[in-house]
């Protein structure tokens, strides 16, 4: 089987980003918390590959640690979404048409009806800005996404013969959901997870851009962008690199998500 | 096509010649005033629009910080220093055409010092025992005790003379005696002032002025560069000043302000009650690094809560010099290792950027900080009113405000009866030498107690079109005095 080009490109970009984040746990070119004011706004080159920011911090190091912040926020947020959304979706599908199904799906509609970023701002405004609240805010918005995908995928499986066979054999709804349904919608969840992951990174960058995400001194891509705003004509590099990091990472994850869907979804494969 | 080109050129030439004889100005401001009554609101932005332009007081500040007669032509002081007799200018009219008389002065002062007064600086009027009208142009003010600073107090924007007929609407339709009157206020965008044809004094060169409100530093930069704004006296993005300095179209207005920028410490917080901990923090701070990093080099280090350009300033920066080793020893001595402090920062860049630098400097001596960036409303609620903080950074921009240390309920909660006694003594002292002595002692006392981390005197960083003359380089009080502003030919 031939791997599509976009999948490879996406995987490479995502891998780079994850590798940078992991590497930053052990090593960064410079310490991100050490300010060196006398060395501020140095253009790329010399000892600093990507230059230094307005406090003389190394931008490459900050991007590496910032990747970690982004991943941490996005992973946990997607985790929350999956942990709550998938069981809700399975339950709703198993009890199709019941009151439970109605409550779950209308609840979803309710959350969907609000622009996610606005609610995220509300949550952080009420509970105070911090990385944890950003995670919560983004996580809550992942719940209906996963609930829907799960329910949709599960509903089509419930009509299949082998599920019917399992029911005839006397298995309960819960066991069927866990043993037969869940294992067959894993591919859907992985694809959706990848896309939500990239959206999570974007949301985190957006929240920290307006000052509601991770608080200093913890580096974050969104805040790097916000800090560089007034300096853009003086030292363009300090805005360009965090911007590029966000674009490339989100692009990479989206390409990978799309590529995996093409690969994993049997219906799409048949068409091609 | 050719004709059209010619017309365009002609139009351009016309525009250019029009610009030469310019008699209007557009001034940029970061914050919009909440109302326009300087006697009823605390916001600095009110005075920045109306002081000396729309409203005048008995006396007024000049660009160099000296106080000169304004609506009062002259005054006599009684032997014992308690009775001031002000001789008012005659023929002064308010914008609504009514005469400015001694009755208006009495009304203004009585209103400001009344029980239910909303004046933001009631302390200015505290010593007044009575105000009596002698005749139309003479007012006698009797103080309960001699006050050497009384004439200076009357120069504040909070002490301007208002008329009883128009005071009820002053918040939106201010009526003063100044050379400009309110033209139009487009809320959220701009305030336009127009010439007052009946002005009693020298007519200013400008016929009209617009104050435009731009809060975002990036937008301020763009508006200045595009020429939409002629001058931005309190320019919010010091990092771009170098660019304006290198451009012949612009001039930089770099001066001093009355803004003592401090690392405020909550003296009643358990962690900071020990003076050794506060001393350690003072020694952990590298002021020059903060000035360079947060203000791009603009600012003067201070060692106490006093403006360095004031003749009574005592340079105490050496007492809290940068010495991380000493800071660590002091912390060990106080048994305050593993300290974690909250650092709550309001929006200005001196606070946000300065906060990150201070956090890093404190970390170097073993103090962890939890930074939270707050909007002004939240800051006022949590820090200023709620006193729920350990550290904060803020610039105190009122002139001569060392007396805030005599208020134990003030947000940093410094309580020292000796200092309070000193301030009472200062209020009573009329002799200049005696006042200097008391002020010096006060500066030393708060430096010895390490009440706050004293960082730097906020610089006034302004940008203006190179052809503008007469803007104040310094801000001895919160003002954009346009009376002396003109365009060079």
Q: Which of B72, B41, B452 is nearest to B264 (CA)?
A: B452
* A252: number of Cβ within 10 Å: 23
Q: Do A233 and B217 touch (CB under 8 A)?
A: no
Inform me whether the pLDDT recorded for A142 exceeds 80: yes
B382 close contact with A: CB closer than 8 A: no
User: Which pTM was predicted?
Assistant: 0.76
B373 close contact with A: CB closer than 8 A: yes
Residue pair A105/A93 in contact (Cβ under 8 Å)? The answer is no
Nearest to A33 among B242, B363, B373 (CB): B363
Q: Measured between alpha carbons, how far is B342 from B373 in angstroms, rounded to an integer?
A: 11
Contacts of B372 in chain A (CB under 8 A): 128-130, 215
Contacts of A128 in chain B (CB under 8 A): 372
- pLDDT for the residue B9: 47
Q: Do A35 and B240 touch (CB under 8 A)?
A: no
* Peptide bond connecting A111 to the previous residue in cis, omega within 30 degrees of 0: no
Domain boundaries in chain B?
A: 9-36+177-255+460-487, 54-169, 259-458
Q: What is the CATH number of domain B54-169?
A: 3.90.76.10
Residues of A with CB under 8 A from a CB of B: 33-35, 37-38, 40, 54-56, 128-130, 211, 215-217, 229-234
Residue numbers in chain B where pLDDT is lower than 70: 1-21
- pLDDT for the residue A2: 62
Q: Do B293 and A35 touch (CB under 8 A)?
A: yes
Cβ neighbours of residue B308 closer than 8 Å, sequence gap 6 or more: B256, B300, B302, B315, B457
| pLDDT interval class at A270 (50, 70, 90) | low
B221 close contact with A: CB closer than 8 A: yes
Q: What is the CATH number of domain A5-25+49-263?
A: 1.10.3720.10
- pLDDT for the residue B65: 83
For A34, name the nearest residue in chain B, comparing CA atoms only.
B360
Dump pLDDT digits (tens) for A174-231.
888 888 888 888 888 988 999 899 988 998 888 888 878 877 778 889 989 988 887 8
- pLDDT for the residue B341: 94
Residue in A33, A36, A37 to test binding to B, most B beta-carbons within 10 Å: A37
- pLDDT for the residue B25: 94
- pLDDT for the residue B199: 93
- Rounded to a whole number of angstroms, the distance from the CA of A231 to the nearest CA of chain B is 7
- Count how many pairs of residues, chain A against chain B, have C-beta atoms within 8 Å: 60
Dump pLDDT digits (tens) for A5-50.
888 999 999 999 999 999 988 888 888 877 787 788 888 887 888 8
Nearest to B217 among A33, A130, A230 (CB): A230
Q: Do A230 and B239 touch (CB under 8 A)?
A: yes
Q: Which residue has the tokens 């009355």?
A: B258
A59 exposed, middle or buried (CB, 10 Å; 0-12, 13-18, 19+)?
buried
Q: Do B359 and A231 touch (CB under 8 A)?
A: no
Domain boundaries in chain A?
A: 5-25+49-263
For B354, name the nearest residue in chain A, comparing CA atoms only.
A55
- pLDDT for the residue B249: 93
Nearest to B218 among A40, A55, A229 (CB): A229
Architecture of domain B9-36+177-255+460-487: 3-Layer(aba) Sandwich (3.40)
Distance of CA B81 to CAs B84, B112, B252, B444, Å? 8, 22, 43, 28
Nearest to A217 among B237, B243, B356 (CB): B356
Residue in A225, A230, A234, A235 to test binding to B, most B beta-carbons within 10 Å: A230
Q: Which of A260, A102, A108 is nearest to A189 (CA)?
A: A260
Inform me whether the pLDDT recorded for A124 exceeds 90: no
Per CATH, which fold does B259-458 belong to? Answer: Dipeptide-binding Protein; domain 3 (3.10.105)
- Rounded to a whole number of angstroms, the distance from the CA of B238 to the nearest CA of chain A is 9
- pLDDT for the residue A272: 46
Query: Average per-residue pLDDT in chain A?
Result: 85
Of A77-91, A97-111, A254-268, B372-386, minimum mean pLDDT range: A254-268
Nearest to A37 among B217, B293, B355 (CB): B293
Chain centre to alpha carbon of residue B403: 16
**pLDDT above 90 as % of chain A:** 22
- Rounded to a whole number of angstroms, the distance from the CA of A193 to the nearest CA of chain B is 31
């Amino acid at each position: 089987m031939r791997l599509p080009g976009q999948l490879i490109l996406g995987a490479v970009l995502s891998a780079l980003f994850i590798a940078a984040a992991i590497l930053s746990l052990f090593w960064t070119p410079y310490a991100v918390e050490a300010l060196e004011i006398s060395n501020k706004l140095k253009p790329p080159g010399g000892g600093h590959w990507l230059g230094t920011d307005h406090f003389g911090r190394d931008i490459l190091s900050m991007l590496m640690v910032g990747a970690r912040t982004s991943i941490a926020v996005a992973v946990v947020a997607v985790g929350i979404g999956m942990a709550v959304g998938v069981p809700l979706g399975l339950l709703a599908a198993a009890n199709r048409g019941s009151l439970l199904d109605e409550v779950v799906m209308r609840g979803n509609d309710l959350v969907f009806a609000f622009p996610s970023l606005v609610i995220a701002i509300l949550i952080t405004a009420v509970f105070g800005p911090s990385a944890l609240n950003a995670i919560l805010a983004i996580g809550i918005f992942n719940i209906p996404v996963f609930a829907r995908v799960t329910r949709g995928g599960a509903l089509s499986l419930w009509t299949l013969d082998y599920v019917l066979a399992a029911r005839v054999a006397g298995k309960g709804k819960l066991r069927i959901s866990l043993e037969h349904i869940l294992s067959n919608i894993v591919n859907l969840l992985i694809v959706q997870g990848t896309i939500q992951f990239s959206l999570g990174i974007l949301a985190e960058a957006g929240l920290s851009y307006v000052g509601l995400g991770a608080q200093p001194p913890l580096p974050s891509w969104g805040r790097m962008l916000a800090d560089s705003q007034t300096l853009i004509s003086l030292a363009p590099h300090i805005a360009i690199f965090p911007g590029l990091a966000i674009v490339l990472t989100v692009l990479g994850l989206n390409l990978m998500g799309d590529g995996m869907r093409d690969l994993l979804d049997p219906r799409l494969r048949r068409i091609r | 096509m050719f004709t059209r080109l010619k017309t365009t050129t002609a139009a351009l030439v016309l525009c250019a010649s029009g610009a030469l004889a310019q008699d209007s100005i557009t001034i940029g401001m970061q914050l919009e005033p909440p109302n326009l009554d300087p006697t009823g609101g605390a916001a600095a932005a009110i005075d920045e629009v109306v002081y000396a332009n729309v409203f005048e007081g008995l006396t007024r500040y000049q660009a160099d910080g000296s106080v000169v007669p304004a609506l009062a032509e002259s005054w006599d002081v009684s032997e014992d220093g308690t009775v001031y007799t002000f001789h008012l200018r005659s023929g002064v009219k308010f914008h609504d055409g009514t005469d400015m008389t001694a009755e208006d002065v009495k009304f203004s002062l009585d209103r400001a010092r009344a029980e239910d007064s909303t004046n933001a600086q009631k302390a200015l009027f505290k010593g007044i025992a009575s105000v009596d009208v002698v005749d139309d142009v003479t007012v006698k003010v009797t103080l309960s005790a001699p006050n050497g600073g009384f004439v200076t107090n009357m120069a504040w924007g909070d002490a301007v003379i208002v008329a009883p007929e128009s005071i009820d609407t002053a918040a939106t339709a201010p009526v003063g005696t100044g050379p400009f009157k309110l033209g139009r206020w487009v809320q959220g965008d701009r305030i336009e002032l127009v010439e007052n044809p009946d002005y009693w004094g020298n007519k200013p060169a400008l016929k009209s002025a617009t104050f435009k409100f731009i809060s975002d530093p990036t937008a301020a930069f763009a508006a200045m560069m595009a020429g939409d704004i002629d001058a931005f006296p309190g320019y919010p993005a010091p990092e771009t000043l170098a660019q304006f300095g290198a451009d012949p179209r612009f001039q930089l207005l770099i001066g001093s302000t009355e803004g003592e920028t401090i690392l405020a410490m909550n003296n009643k917080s358990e962690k900071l009650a020990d003076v050794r901990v506060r001393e350690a923090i003072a020694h952990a701070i590298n002021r020059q690094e903060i000035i360079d990093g947060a203000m791009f080099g603009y600012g003067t280090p201070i060692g106490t809560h006093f403006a360095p350009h004031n003749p009574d300033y005592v340079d105490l920066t050496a007492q809290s010099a940068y010495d991380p080793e000493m800071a660590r020893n002091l912390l060990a001595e106080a048994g305050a290792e593993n300290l974690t402090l909250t650092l709550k920062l309001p929006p200005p860049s001196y606070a946000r950027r300065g906060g990150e630098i201070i956090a890093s400097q404190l970390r170097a001596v073993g103090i962890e900080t939890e930074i939270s960036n707050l909007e002004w409303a939240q800051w006022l609620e949590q820090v200023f009113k709620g006193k729920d903080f350990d550290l904060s950074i803020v610039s105190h921009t009122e002139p001569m405000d060392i007396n805030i240390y005599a208020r134990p309920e003030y947000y940093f909660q410094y309580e020292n009866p000796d200092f309070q006694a000193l301030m009472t003594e200062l209020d009573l002292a009329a002799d200049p030498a005696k006042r200097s002595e008391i002020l010096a002692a006060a500066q030393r006392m708060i430096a010895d107690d390490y009440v706050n981390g004293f960082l730097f005197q906020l610089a006034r960083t302004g940008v203006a079109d190179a052809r503008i003359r007469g803007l104040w380089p310094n801000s001895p009080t919160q003002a954009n005095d346009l009376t002396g502003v003109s365009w060079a030919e």
